[in-house]
Structure 1
Amino acid sequence: MVITTQAIVLSKLRYRDNDLIVTCYTQQHGVLSFLLRGVLKSKKGLTKTAYFQLLSQLQLVIVYNPNRSLHTVKEAKPQHVYNSLHTHILKSSIVMFLAEVLSNTLKEEEQNQTLYSYLETTLLWLDAHQECSNFHLLFLLKLTKYLGFYPESTPIQHTFFNLQDGTFEASQNSKYTISGDELNILKQLLNTTFEDLYQVKLTSKQRQSFLNIMLQYYELHLGTFKKPKSLQVLNEVFN
């Protein structure tokens, strides 16, 4: 079946000498992987390869077979051309980190239009704005809405947050509980939009600490989630 779909690149892997395996989150069928045969062999192929940078947004014409794990790309072209996402050092480190997180969390071959729209619009926002130091924190927090474990927002006035249950509590009932400064950051981000994110002022130490908490939150709710290898690079860039 030949279909046209928008897609966001999650990962790419060299296969044999001249081929690539590219995994994308597609608007029509969720996560799909594609075998690009001979794409590394010619200059024309290398131009096509440049389309498949991490988190690039593409329009693909594909041969889709639900009984296959690898599909074929007949045609690829950019859906949105980024201005800074792959050239700005801070943004490119965020892209590498978030692509790894998304590869780790998005597994289903099924359509989810609201999730696709979230990814599309937030990546375009990041590309268009200069202040991005806390983007990945808010992105991960809001992503949990679509993954099914967004924090219960009431009663938010409580002084503890249980990471395991995703709830605010009046007392510490689990070893996976945060309070104090980390809790205040969580509450602040829960009440923040991307447009107002510049108002959230964090030190590099606070940012790293809260990011580790978010990754632990993902580990507790997604059994297969692994801490991204690119975390160290991200922390070094934002130090």
Structure 2
Amino acid sequence: MLVSTPAVVLSSKRYRDSDLIVTCFTRNFGRVSYILKGILKSRKGKLRPAFFQPFTLLDLEANHKDNRSLQYIKEARISHPLNSLHSDQIKRAIALFLSEVLYATLKVEEKQDDLFDYIETTIKWFETHETYASFHIVFLLELTKYLGFYPDVDINHDYFDLVEGRSANRDTGLYSVSGENLTVLKEILGIKFDRDKEVYLSMIQKRNLLDMILLYFKVHLDGFKEPKSLTVLNEVFADP
């Protein structure tokens, strides 16, 4: 069946000598994986490897068949050019990291309009803004709204329970957050990408908060593992 759908590229992996397996999050079908045969050796085809970098926004025409694990792309067009995202070192590292998180979390093969709109809108915002040091942190916190475990934080409580996903009035053990991490979490929750507000975080604060958020994902998502690209992201932010 020939279908059309907007899509966000989550992953692109070499397969054999000249093929790519590309996983996208699509508006109309959720998560879909495609095999692009011969794309790495063909110079005449309409499909180019550059189309399938992480976070690229595409309009796809594809052949989908029920019960087939890998579908086929007939045509792909870039729907929104991302020049700064793919050329800026820090933005590229953030995009790689977040696309890896999305690849690990978005498993549903069905239409999810609100989630797709959120991802598409924030990628476009990211492309056009120069102040984005906390983008990945805000992105992940807002993502939890769509995954079903957005933090329920009460400013009057001194602890946050990662397992329960809400504030607590006492230390609940290993998965209890308090002190500076909780203060920073309270400050950054509720920030919207369309507002000119930036919470300044030191490199250490940013790393500690991100580690806490990733632990939060591990607690609530079966099989979630620390992204391999986290090391690269930390190195980029550590550079003077």
- 2:33 aligned partner: 33
Asked whether the 8 Å contact 2:93–2:232 carries over to 1, the reply is yes
- 1:61 aligned partner: 61
TM-score relative to the length of structure 2 = 0.96
- 1:164 aligned partner: 163
Q: Post-superposition shift, 1:18?
A: 1.2
Cα RMSD for the two superposed structures: 1.3
- 1:115 aligned partner: 115
C-alpha distance in 1, partners of 2:46/2:87?
18
- 1:128 aligned partner: 128
- 2:224 aligned partner: 225
Q: Secondary structure at the match of 2:131?
A: coil
- Residues 80-159 of structure 1 aligned to structure 2 (within 5 Å): 80-153=80-153, 155-159=154-158
Percent identity for Structure 1 against Structure 2: 46
Deviations 1:201-229 (A, max 9, x none): 11000000000000000000001100001
Task: Give unpaired runs (5+ residues) of structure 2.
Answer: none
- 2:71 aligned partner: 71
C-alpha distance in 2, partners of 1:13/1:46?
19
- 1:184 aligned partner: 183
One-letter code aligned to 1:98: L
C-alpha distance in 2, partners of 1:124/1:51?
16
Cα gap change, 1:119 to 1:109, in 2 (>3 Å): same
C-alpha distance in 1, partners of 2:83/2:38?
28
Task: Give unpaired runs (5+ residues) of structure 1.
Answer: none
One-letter code aligned to 1:11: S
Name segments (4+ residues, structure 1) moved above 6 Å.
none
Q: Post-superposition shift, 1:195?
A: 3.6
One-letter code aligned to 1:36: L
Deviations 1:92-134 (A, max 9, x none): 0001100111111111101100000000000110100001111
Q: Secondary structure at the match of 2:83?
A: coil
Asked whether the 8 Å contact 1:20–1:37 carries over to 2, the reply is yes
Asked whether the 8 Å contact 1:5–1:60 carries over to 2, the reply is yes
C-alpha distance in 2, partners of 1:47/1:75?
7
One-letter code aligned to 1:101: V
Whether 2:209 is the aligned partner of 1:210: answer yes
Cα gap change, 1:41 to 1:59, in 2 (>3 Å): same
C-alpha distance in 1, partners of 2:138/2:192?
8
One-letter code aligned to 2:40: L
One-letter code aligned to 2:5: T
One-letter code aligned to 1:65: K
Q: Post-superposition shift, 1:198?
A: 4.3
- Residues 42-57 of structure 1 aligned to structure 2 (within 5 Å): 42-45=42-45, 48-57=48-57
TM-score relative to the length of structure 1 = 0.96
C-alpha distance in 1, partners of 2:134/2:159?
22
Cα gap change, 1:73 to 1:190, in 2 (>3 Å): same
Deviations 1:73-96 (A, max 9, x none): 011111111130010111000011
Q: Secondary structure at the match of 1:86?
A: helix
Q: Post-superposition shift, 1:66?
A: 2.1
